[in-house]
């Protein structure tokens, strides 16, 4: 493991690619090894114990591949497993929650912040915790939107049914007079335009993917781990636990690079 | 293992409970051991190899519990794994597809049958195969409805969004002039009323759960495996791989018996 080693990024499926995309944009010399746990997607309605077990398996796999740092590109896994995994493994592990919470705390003017995410993320109250660590006066309004992940996975990002569900899930947050809304699930940036249409220009949308890539850059700089001998074109690698072809198709619509292969990798429980 | 042993029933989650419900109605002296693979739900968009692996683990678990027969209460697992599992294990294994296909073949008058199910089930063309085995003149119209399982799991069985998705998925089958529609996923009977409202009284809905319980009864009778010393009240057991409380709540809305416990059981891969 050296500063030229790759960065490990994982998620339950394709959602974490919104984080990988930001990393590719902000620190383009870095190489990514991505793992999408497509055999066990979704994570959002599973228990803490199960998510910790799955995260541990994936982190071991990524460490075996020689990564220098790990990004948990999944809000549910960050909420349930980041702390435990940081204690278990001797490698920097960056989650998506703290960066998103910091950005929202900086953006809000009326101290009323909405968070949308999976049941697991919302019920963990992890965003409340980090937001109030930064500013105890912030009032946090959380709303679980369990169907959003499925709508994204079905490619229904611009669809009247999705608009109806956005209205149903988010109306109460708008009524709560929030001025900032955290997209607290890595699938949700793919619904950004539809959500913007509904909430209008007065509510600031916070995409933790952007902030997470910025945090990662800071951690690499602070630990002297930025790539020193950048390749002409980084050779990113993509591993999935099921459905490699479907993943590849979706990845090519999300990422700026050409994803030629997604490799099937079965993890041992 | 004897004729008084229990029957093993499994599914990716709660959908198979519609089959368990029919077994309890039709052969009420039998005891059921149910396994819901809630840690890895849904199965419908996963690969054949993955579904075979998961089915094998669950069948081993059920056989260790001493069951006398197994019902694969999941169309996707039936489509991908029933044949392989029957070859591997020396115990009667009943799927949900053949009974449903037989009932539809008997019901149709114009030889035009629609099938709705998961991507896995529809793309396997297994219903076409069984329908045409019975009657080669039947024309089969399949339609994958991937969002239905999620809508059911969210409890949205009577909801305008669900109605909109029913219209979108099923309109083309109605236009194809089908007179019979197979509910080819064990979650779908929970949408039966909403689907009936949309298709009207001229299309016969076939619920394979009902037919599967009938097939099971026939197999038990033929193998002299019907329970001979019935308990006063059968003590059904429910195992899940995650989220026992959520499962218990849903199970109590679907089943006629009182589900007091769902036991967490982690399977080895």
The CA–CA distances, whole Å, from A191 to A12, A63, A197, A212, B154 equal 18, 32, 10, 19, 20
CB atoms within 10 A of CB A114: 28
Distance CA A118, CA A185 (A): 7
Query: B154 and A164: CB-CB below 8 Å?
Result: no
**In A, which residues are within 8 Å of B46 by CB distance?**
38-39, 242-243
Query: A268 and B266: CB-CB below 8 Å?
Result: no
Prediction pTM value: 0.87
Q: Which of B146, B165, B246 sits opposite A161 (nearest CB)?
A: B165
Distance CA A207, CA A181 (A): 9
Query: B161 and A161: CB-CB below 8 Å?
Result: yes
Q: Which residue intervals of chain A bear CATH 3.40.50.1860?
A: 7-95+210-264, 97-208
**How confident is the model at residue B184, as a pLDDT?**
97
Sign (positive or negative) of CA dihedral A94, A121, A257, A40:
positive
The CA–CA distances, whole Å, from B74 to A81, B18, B82 equal 31, 10, 10
**pLDDT at residue B83 tops 70:** yes
Q: Are A258 and A252 in contact (CB under 8 A)?
A: yes
Range from A1-5, B106-110, B252-256 that averages highest in pLDDT? B106-110
User: Closest by alpha carbon to B18, among B198, B204, B157, B197?
Assistant: B157
Chain A residues touching chain B at CB-CB below 8 Å = 38-40, 45-47, 50, 146-147, 150-151, 153-154, 160-161, 164-165, 168, 241-243, 246, 266-269
Residues of A annotated catalytic, as ranges: 74, 185
| ipTM exceeds 0.85 | no
User: Closest by alpha carbon to A23, among A94, A122, A81?
Assistant: A94
Share of chain B above pLDDT 90, in %: 90
- Name the residue of chain A whose CA is nearest to B120's CA: A243
**pLDDT at residue A269 tops 90:** no
Span B135-184, pLDDT tens digits: 999 999 999 999 998 898 788 999 999 999 999 999 999 999 999 999 99
For residue A129, what are the contacts with CB-CB under 8 A and spacing of at least 6? none
Distance CA B202, CA B27 (A): 31
Q: Are A113 and A178 in contact (CB under 8 A)?
A: yes
Chain B residues touching chain A at CB-CB below 8 Å = 38-40, 45-47, 50, 146-147, 150-151, 153-154, 160-161, 164-165, 168, 241-243, 246, 266-269
User: Closest by alpha carbon to B147, among A157, A119, A150?
Assistant: A150
Q: Are A123 and A154 in contact (CB under 8 A)?
A: no
**How confident is the model at residue B192, as a pLDDT?**
96
**Least confident segment among A102-116, A143-157, B6-20, B210-224:** A143-157
**How confident is the model at residue A140, as a pLDDT?**
98
- Name the residue of chain A whose CA is nearest to B44's CA: A39
Q: What is the CA radius of gyration of chain B?
A: 18
**In B, which residues are within 8 Å of A48 by CB distance?**
none
**pLDDT at residue A207 tops 70:** yes
Query: B45 and A146: CB-CB below 8 Å?
Result: no
Q: Which of A45, A267, A269 sits opposite B268 (nearest CB)?
A: A269
Distance CA B248, CA B259 (A): 6
**How confident is the model at residue A155, as a pLDDT?**
84
**How confident is the model at residue A262, as a pLDDT?**
92
**How confident is the model at residue A154, as a pLDDT?**
84
Distance of residue B269 Cα from the nearest chain A Cα, in angstroms: 6
Q: Per-residue pLDDT averaged across A160-182, rounded?
A: 97
To the nearest 5 percent, what fractions of chain B are helix, strand and coil?
50, 15, 35
**How confident is the model at residue B51, as a pLDDT?**
96
Q: Per-residue pLDDT averaged across A249-262, rounded?
A: 91
Distance CA B237, CA B8 (A): 10
Q: Which of B242, B268, B269 sits opposite A47 (nearest CB)?
A: B242
Domain B7-95+210-264 CATH assignment equals 3.40.50.1860: yes
Half-sphere exposure of A104 (CA within 13 A, CB side): 38
The CA–CA distances, whole Å, from B157 to A162, B151, B152 equal 17, 7, 6
Span A25-72, pLDDT tens digits: 999 999 999 999 999 888 998 999 999 999 999 999 999 999 999 999
**How confident is the model at residue A162, as a pLDDT?**
97
Query: A151 and B154: CB-CB below 8 Å?
Result: no
**pLDDT at residue B269 tops 70:** no
Q: Which of B46, B161, B168 sits opposite A39 (nearest CB)?
A: B46
**Mean of all residue pLDDT scores within chain A:** 95
- Regarding the domain delimited by B97-208, which CATH topology (the fold level of the hierarchy) does it fall under? Rossmann fold (3.40.50)
**How confident is the model at residue A1, as a pLDDT?**
80
What are the strands, taking DSSP E only, across A77-137?
Answer: 93-94, 112-117
**pLDDT at residue B268 tops 80:** no
Span A18-30, pLDDT tens digits: 999 999 999 999 9
Q: Which of B145, B185, B227, B257 is catalytic?
A: B185
């Amino acid at each position: 493991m050296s500063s030229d080693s790759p960065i490990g990024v994982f998620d339950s499926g394709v959602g974490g690619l919104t984080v990988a995309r930001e990393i590719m944009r902000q620190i383009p010399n870095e190489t990514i090894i991505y793992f999408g746990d497509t055999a066990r997607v979704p994570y959002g309605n599973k228990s803490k114990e199960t998510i910790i077990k799955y995260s541990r398996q994936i982190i071991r796999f990524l460490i075996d591949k020689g990564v220098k740092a790990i990004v948990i590109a999944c809000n549910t896994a960050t909420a349930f497993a980041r702390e435990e995994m940081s204690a278990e493994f001797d490698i920097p592990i960056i989650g998506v929650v703290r960066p998103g919470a910091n950005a929202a705390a900086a953006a809000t003017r009326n101290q009323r912040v909405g968070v949308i995410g999976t049941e697991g993320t919302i019920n963990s109250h992890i965003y409340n915790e980090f937001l109030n660590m930064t500013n105890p006066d912030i009032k946090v309004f959380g709303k679980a939107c369990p169907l959003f992940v499925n709508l994204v996975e079905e490619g229904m990002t611009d669809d009247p049914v999705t608009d109806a569900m956005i209205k149903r899930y988010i109306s109460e947050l708008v009524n709560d007079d929030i001025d900032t809304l955290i997209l607290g699930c890595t699938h949700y940036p793919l619904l950004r335009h539809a959500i913007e249409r509904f909430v209008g220009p007065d509510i600031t949308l916070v995409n933790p993917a952007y902030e997470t890539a910025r945090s990662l850059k800071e951690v690499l700089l602070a630990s002297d781990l930025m790539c020193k001998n950048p390749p002409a074109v980084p050779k990113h690698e993509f591993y999935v636990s099921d459905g490699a072809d479907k993943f590849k198709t979706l990845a090519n619509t999300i990422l700026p690079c050409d994803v030629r292969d997604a490799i099937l990798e079965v993890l041992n429980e």
